[in-house]
Structure 1
Amino acid sequence: MRGLHADTGYLLYRLGLRSGQLFNASLQESGLRLRHYALLRFLTTTPGALQRELSASLGYDPSAIVGLVDDLEKLGLAERRPSPDDRRSRIVVLTEDGRAFLRDTDEAGRRVTDELLGPLDAAERDALHALLQKVAEAGLG
């Protein structure tokens, strides 16, 4: 394994997989997956988004966004509304139940992070986060 662990890209890939597995396990009871959570979390940063904006921002296929929003609407966590800018378009907004769900999952997210980053002290975690954020902002927009 040491040879594979010398490759930073591979390490990021493996850690991403492990993080996704842990997070999906923490969401299992709700019936949601990390993709749903990411969409909900994104909606906390915007008062409403077109589905194509969600697709571009999250990097998900547009057809996947439709299904994710359908799932979230059925659970009352998000809803489609007419766009204030164009009545022919619909925006996706977070509902109050969606906000409550995110508050309830914050602790689960911290537990996942703690498990994944257990070997690091607080300063190392902060440094890792800052570096990952810098790379993500440069490469993901």
Structure 2
Amino acid sequence: MTPSPDPPAGLERLLGTDLTAEPVFLMARAASTGSSAANKQLAELDLKVRHYSVLALACGEERLTQRELSQFLVLDPSQIVAILDELERRGAVERRTDPRDRRSKVIAPTPAGRNLYAQAKALVGVSTSESLSPLSDEERQELSRLLRKVAF
């Protein structure tokens, strides 16, 4: 197991504060640092974590609507529209009429989108490995289990 990294210079004195015992703060900080690291990796594909999340769901078998994407990712519908607009301009996804409800659109990947997702997934994997390097494999599995329990 890799030792925990040192906190950023000058912040060591804050590790004893009450805030560092707050799970909500720790989850937010871990999410922020993890997203930042992933965004750095994804920059070579001109993507961000939000784009990656939408693309990952679009490349799944579920054929989600814009509304379902918004709800699952806890993003405002206008944010989803902007992300989809960008992915559509890049030729990565298409909006198609939902056969279950013709008023809705489902998001489908294009072959280029599936290729982009495969590249992005590899980069996110590198970022995840780096972000979770202080944890053993068992701890990573337990963290994922606990986060799923809290998130859903």
TM-score of the superposed pair, with normalisation by structure 2? 0.82
2:29 maps to 14
Of residues 14-23 and 105-114 in structure 1, the stretch that sits farther from structure 2 once superposed is 105-114
Q: Which residue of 2 aligns with 1:81?
A: 96
Letter of the structure 2 residue corresponding to residue 108 of structure 1: L
Measure, in 2, the Cα distance between the counterparts of 1:82 and 1:100: 23
Change (3 A) 1:89 1:110: closer
**In the alignment, which residue of structure 1 is the partner of 2:143?**
128
Is the CA contact 2:45–2:120 (under 8 Å) kept in the aligned structure 1? no
| Structure 1 residue 51, shift from structure 2 partner | 1.5
- Larger RCO (CA under 8 A, 6+ residues apart): 2
Relative to structure 1, is the Cα distance of residues 5 and 31 closer, same or farther in structure 2, using a 3 angstrom cutoff?
same
Contact 2:39 2:49 in 1 (8 A): yes
Q: What's the secondary structure of 2:102's corresponding residue?
A: coil
**What SS does the corresponding residue of 1:52 show, helix, strand or coil?**
helix
State the 1:67 CA deviation.
0.8
Please say if residues 56 and 117 of structure 2, whose CA atoms lie closer than 8 Å, have aligned partners that are also in contact: yes
Letter of the 1:8 partner, please give it: P
With 72-81 and 44-53 compared, the bigger mean Cα shift is at 44-53
Q: Which runs of 5+ in 2 are unaligned?
A: 1-13
Equivalent residue runs for 1:1-141 within 5 Å: 1=14, 2-3=16-17, 4-137=19-152
CA shift, 1:131, in A, is 1.1
- Runs of 5+ in structure 1 lacking a partner? none
